[in-house]
């Protein structure tokens, strides 16, 4: 299959491009490099021996995107492109709604014009809000979110489902990611956040490599085993393989279908710090701070649906995630910057 990967130079997009190429699919990446580096394209080629096609285009530029789409002529799309910083979305909701919704509208209109109706969408476990206790089930109730970033995912899931209902022929997978971390085992691609990381794993890695002094533990008085927050961390390579599995099963889906991509197990902040200390061989100082507003105590996936319908389960351990994350960070202490 020839797959157009929007946001394919980003963290999850680049690992998915690698997984697709390794499965023998053709890949064209559409990315405006607003939050990613063109170096990723070279690294994907280094890993796989195949250079993906590239459309350096902003999805919001409908004319340019349409031309790029026509020239690539893909069979299916995996849509990663979008803004994803929770704090930024609270500070500037209009930008987040306009960008994430607008770029998806442009994509859907373009796909319709060209008769392409197979789409895998990057959603997030954030759509579960605080409506359920873990493990979160895809059909466990109303979707909700506690911030504008998360609401763009809730809204886009709804919009995609409405589009799929409105006419036959659409095959849409809504992939709800838990907490993707780690990196390709080559150390050539990985997560490269702008500024000070918001997420735990990249923050720990920057402490391990000496860019930041200590990890802030946001609360140790939760009703969890050691009092710190528990999350379902998933190796980005497992997540990438989940996309390939969803894409290959998409033709069996009439309309839109949601699948959780997680491991089904929770790991605490303190356990994560210990795993990265073991992987890096560096002490990782940490200090307990107040709870971060909006954080849930615990989150993990019910993985039954993805296992039975996609034939996919995550196989890599927390130790694998810490080892591969550390390899990426130690080989590229400044990410993709020179
Ligand atoms: N966390 C933390 N310090 C940090 C960043 C995160 O203690 O600097 C905690 C956070 O409270 C949560 C877990 O680590 O329990 C994962 O947070 P992250 O932001 O990575 O993911 P999310 O909250 O979006 O699931």
Is 211 near ligand 1, meaning CB less than 6 Å away? no
CATH of domain 2-181+232-262+301-314: 3.40.50.720
Q: How many angstroms separate the CA atoms of 271 and 226, rounded?
A: 9
- What confidence category does residue 306 fall into, taking pLDDT thresholds of 50, 70 and 90? very high
Q: What is the pLDDT of residues 264-281, one digit of tens each?
A: 999 999 999 999 999 999
Give pTM, 2 decimals: 0.98
Q: Residue 215 CA: which ligand 1 atom is closest?
A: 8
Over residues 58-86, the mean pLDDT reads 97
pLDDT band with cut points at 50, 70 and 90 for residue 294: confident
Q: How confident is the model at residue 140 (pLDDT cuts 50, 70, 90)?
A: confident
- Encoded tokens for 155: 């809204």
Confidence of residue 141 (pLDDT cuts 50, 70, 90): confident
Ligand 1, atom 5: closest residue by C-alpha: 200
What is the CA(228)–ligand 1 centre distance, in A? 10
pLDDT at 131: 83
- pLDDT at 256 exceeding the cut of 80: yes
The number of the ligand 1 atom at minimal distance from the alpha carbon of 204 is 8
Ligand 1 mean position, distance from CA 67 (Å): 40
The 10s digit of each residue's pLDDT in 318-337 is 999 999 999 999 999 999 99
Ligand 1 close to Cβ of residue 146 (< 6 A): no
Once rounded to an integer, what is the mean pLDDT over residues 303-312? 98
pLDDT value of position 130:
87
* Active-site residue list: 149
- Give the model's pLDDT for residue 181: 98
Which is nearest to 299 in space by CA: 123, 82, 127? 127
Ligand 1 mean position to 123 CA, how many Å?
Answer: 18
Tens of pLDDT, residues 164-209: 999 999 999 999 999 999 999 999 999 999 899 999 999 999 999 9
For 151-167, the pLDDT digits (tens) are 999 999 999 999 999 99
Give the residue whose CA is nearest to atom 15 of ligand 1. 229
* Secondary structure (DSSP) of 188-217: SS----SSS--SHHHHHHHHHTTSSS-EEE
Q: How far is the CA of 88 from the centre of ligand 1 (A)?
A: 16
Burial 192-226 (b: 16+ CB within 10 A, else e): bbeeebebbbbbbbbbbbeebeebbbbbbebebee
CA distance 133 to 130: 8
For residue 100, the model assigns a pLDDT of 98
CA distance 327 to 292: 29
Distance, in Å, from the CA atom of 268 to the CA atom of 266, rounded to the nearest integer, reads 7
- Atom index in ligand 1 nearest the CA of residue 222 equals 15
- pLDDT mean across residues, the chain: 97
Query: How buried is residue 178: exposed, middle or buried, by Cβ count under 10 Å (0-12/13-18/19+)?
Result: buried
d(CA 172, CA 257): 6
Could you give the CA distance from residue 306 to residue 315 in angstroms, rounded to a whole number?
13
Say if residue 9's pLDDT is above 90. Answer: yes
**Distance, CA of 84 to CA of 118 (rounded, Å):** 23
Residue 338 pLDDT more than 80? no
């Amino acid at each position: 299959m020839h797959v157009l990967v929007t946001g394919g130079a980003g963290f999850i997009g680049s690992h998915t491009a690698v997984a697709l190429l390794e499965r023998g699919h053709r890949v064209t990446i559409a990315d405006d490099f607003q939050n990613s580096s063109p170096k990723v394209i070279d690294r994907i080629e280094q890993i796989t021996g195949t250079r993906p096609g590239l459309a350096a285009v902003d999805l919001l530029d409908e004319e340019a995107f349409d031309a790029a789409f026509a020239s690539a002529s893909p069979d299916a799309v995996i849509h990663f492109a979008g803004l994803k910083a929770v704090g930024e979305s609270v500070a500037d909701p209009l930008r987040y709604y306009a960008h994430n919704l607008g770029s998806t509208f442009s994509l859907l209109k373009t796909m319709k014009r060209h008769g392409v109706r197979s789409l895998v969408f990057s959603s997030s476990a954030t759509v579960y809000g605080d409506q359920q206790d873990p493990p979160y089930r895809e059909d466990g109730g109303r979707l909700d979110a506690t911030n504008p970033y998360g609401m763009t995912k809730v809204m886009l899931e709804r919009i995609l489902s409405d589009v799929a209902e409105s006419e036959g022929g659409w095959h849409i997978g809504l992939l709800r990611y838990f907490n993707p971390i780690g990196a390709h085992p080559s150390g050539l691609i990985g997560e490269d956040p702008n500024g000070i990381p918001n997420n735990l794993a990249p923050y720990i890695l920057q402490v391990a490599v000496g860019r930041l002094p200590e990890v802030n533990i946001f609360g140790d008085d939760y009703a969890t085993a050691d009092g710190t927050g528990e999350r379902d961390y998933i190796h980005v390579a497992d997540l990438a393989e989940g996309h390939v599995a969803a894409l290959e099963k998409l033709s069996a889906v009439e309309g839109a279908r949601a699948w959780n991509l997680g491991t089904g197990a929770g790991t605490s902040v303190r356990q994560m710090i210990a795993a990265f200390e073991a992987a890096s061989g560096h002490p990782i100082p940490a200090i307990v701070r107040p709870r971060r507003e909006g954080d849930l105590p615990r989150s993990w996936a019910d993985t039954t649906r993805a296992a039975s319908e996609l034939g996919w389960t995550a196989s890599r351990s927390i130790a694998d995630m810490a080892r591969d994350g550390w390899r990426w960070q130690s080989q590229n202490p400044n990410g993709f910057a020179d």
